[in-house]
Chain A
């Protein structure tokens, strides 16, 4: 089930040992008269901590000693909370964008350096996009650098060979066509083995990064929060949300979706897509590359394609977006004691935004981990080596290729290249979260727990355990236990910002 937890545990062991070795390094460096170390805590997206090769190169180029505390992405937020509560934050903290709100209290209290006034002093940092930086402002002030991410990578990956086999014409253009695809993939034996062993959609225990939220965007549901009658209201109070739930319920009732999706892990979900059980995958379109890499070993004839424009019943396109950053970098005053130290760190990040260093952390060493073709980076065939030595460092990136001058990826696999295009195409019909820079104290206190009640109700509605009235009751419960206050606070904050 949650196999990722095992991975996390193993990672933790890795982290501990890595932390130790890092400490030794920094200790010896200081003995040699080094100028002090910059301690960084960042997310680790691979099962193992990276080999220090790239880190050494970065230190060489920037003249700074680094001590990186790698924390597995799965429990990063927990670990960050712990470090925060015990007052052991490092010099630089990478905060996931969806976790940032929790820090606003402390930011207002002056626990972190305000960096807005200094950015212009730095050639490269001053290139960071203003509209993205704005999304991280607290009371109009700037406290964080950001790591850029495409605004929306969400879309559909599907089995093109199956669609052709069944005579389905082109990718699904509407949600109804999507449903027909799921139906045909389940019932018409797309793999031609004479057995009823396929399903349409594969999904997992995640309403956001799984299929649900993206499909709900197709239906026109707001992104977490929407504005209605001059009030900020949660997405699940909009009729489009209900439509999406009904859509999933139909998929579920007809077994066009894996029947255990509320407890399916990401790896199990992807396995179903790779091994030819399911033909539709909704999520980050860029995943098509890694999915294909594994799938072709199981079935060399597999053909995938990616697609983004799916119209809802109202005939409009829509896709939810993130604020343009994956994580933010904060500088706690508890660790960075003087302005001088802050400047040293900002100088380091400024250097990290030069093409030379940015390429180093994104792609590794030229000739060893990547080559350049047509002004784009081609990754080494040895993807294990890449994952082991380079990939983790990508999470240190500041800005995005447009601002830090690093190479874009040249994908060998055409659908992967197409997914990059579609990421940009998505920008034509983004649905933004209006609460990004708004505040609600009650939301910080009770939001997650309240949301859980809604998530449970959503799953139970899809599974047929709950009817429309039951879902309305769940909304009532949400409202009465703090939801009304959240709406009020957000609305007030919204009006003030207008």
Chain B
């Protein structure tokens, strides 16, 4: 409601007046405005100032010459990126993994929280919650190592069982077809439990009277879930979804790099791993920065689109 009146007011007032209004308000609520200062400072120092470094993506950066001394090369590094024969492969792989995260991973914590919400025995619910949080605290190295031990063809348990059951052995680790399932299953195993926290909190905030009323009207468990719980947490879901899209960049360098090998590179190479092997490992700082810059732009575009769609659908966006 409040935001609506504000925008109405904004339309009526001229720009100048708006500014004066803001000043007035700031004066009135000095302390409250002061409280956002540390946050702003944080973003300025750690997010905006480092952007200065993006300059080197337009230079032939030499560490000993510095930013001021290095030669300018314009869009040279971007041209090199787009001309790389692997560019589209990497672009596609990044988007596919992102799509998997969005379509397969994202709903899992929601479903999990809905299920947990229906558990009536508190001790059981608590212990399940705790158990599914634990994987979040394991590093990818451990998770990938465990997967390797289970799936290897040189004495791995899974292949042992397959063989005993009379099936062919499957080369999970080297077959490119298995990379994506493996990736997304590991992500679900590690993060699904952790992801339920926010949804459970949102569910806990739903007015209990609504359920009572629904029960009196004869709604069963599923009806309650569908007509009360889900609509109530829709806003949270949308916001998390947009934030998730903003994370298209963060597919987990560590995770993918650990899974990456010579025979699955065609599906597993993403921008992060490319930056590492083609850029940093060879000391190609400018090129690495250019690739990272491009990746950032892709993320930005996706977030803007997602936010726009959310607003179209009548939800509140992130800005």
* Residues of A in contact with B (beta carbons under 8 Å apart): 1-3, 5-6, 9, 77-78, 81, 84-87, 102, 105-106, 109, 111, 199, 205, 258-260, 262-264, 272, 277, 334, 444-449, 452, 455-456, 458-460, 463, 465, 477, 481
Residue in A5, A445, A452, A455 whose beta carbon sits within 8 Å of that of B141 in the complex: A5
Known: A263-B148, A456-B263, A465-B263. A105 touches B62 (CB 8 A): yes
Q: How many residues of B contact A (CB 8 A)?
A: 34
In the assembled complex, the Cα of A205 lies from the Cα of B264 at a distance in Å of 13
Contact B153 A260 (CB under 8 A): yes
Query: Could you say which residues of chain B place their CB within 8 Å of the CB of A262?
Result: 174, 261-263
User: Which parts of B279-311 form the interface with A (CB within 8 Å)?
Assistant: 280-285
- Closest 4 A/B residue pairs (Cβ): A459-B262, A1-B148, A259-B153, A449-B278
Report if B265 contacts A (CB, 8 A). yes
Query: Could you say which residues of chain B place their CB within 8 Å of the CB of A272?
Result: 154
Contact B141 A81 (CB under 8 A): no
Contact A87 B277 (CB under 8 A): no
Residue in A1, A102, A446, A463 whose beta carbon sits within 8 Å of that of B263 in the complex: A463
Report if B123 contacts A (CB, 8 A). no
The B interface, classified by DSSP as helix, strand, loop or mixed, is loop
Report if B119 contacts A (CB, 8 A). no
Contact A1 B145 (CB under 8 A): yes
Query: Could you say which residues of chain A place their CB within 8 Å of the CB of B117?
Result: none
Known: A262-B263, A448-B282. A2 touches B141 (CB 8 A): yes
CB-CB contacts of B199-212 with A at 8 A, as 1s and 0s?
00000000000000
Query: Could you say which residues of chain A place their CB within 8 Å of the CB of B283?
Result: 81, 84-85, 102
Contact A3 B145 (CB under 8 A): yes
> Besides A260-B174, A264-B154, 5 other CB < 8 A contacts?
A81-B280, A109-B62, A262-B261, A444-B282, A448-B282
Tell me, rounded to whole Å, the shortest Cβ–Cβ distance linking B85 to chain A: 6
Contact B64 A111 (CB under 8 A): yes
Residue of B nearest to A453 (CB): B86
Report if B129 contacts A (CB, 8 A). no
Tell me, rounded to whole Å, the shortest Cβ–Cβ distance linking A90 to chain B: 15
Contact B173 A260 (CB under 8 A): yes
* Sample (30) of A-B pairs whose CB atoms are under 8 Å apart: A1-B147, A2-B141, A2-B144, A3-B141, A6-B139, A9-B139, A81-B280, A81-B281, A81-B283, A87-B63, A87-B66, A105-B62, A106-B64, A205-B261, A205-B262, A259-B154, A260-B152, A263-B152, A263-B173, A263-B174, A334-B64, A445-B282, A446-B278, A447-B282, A448-B281, A455-B262, A456-B265, A458-B262, A463-B263, A481-B84
In the assembled complex, the Cα of A481 lies from the Cα of B83 at a distance in Å of 9
Contact A87 B173 (CB under 8 A): no
Contact B64 A1 (CB under 8 A): no
In the assembled complex, the Cα of A455 lies from the Cα of B147 at a distance in Å of 24
Residue of B nearest to A278 (CB): B154
Tell me, rounded to whole Å, the shortest Cβ–Cβ distance linking B252 to chain A: 14
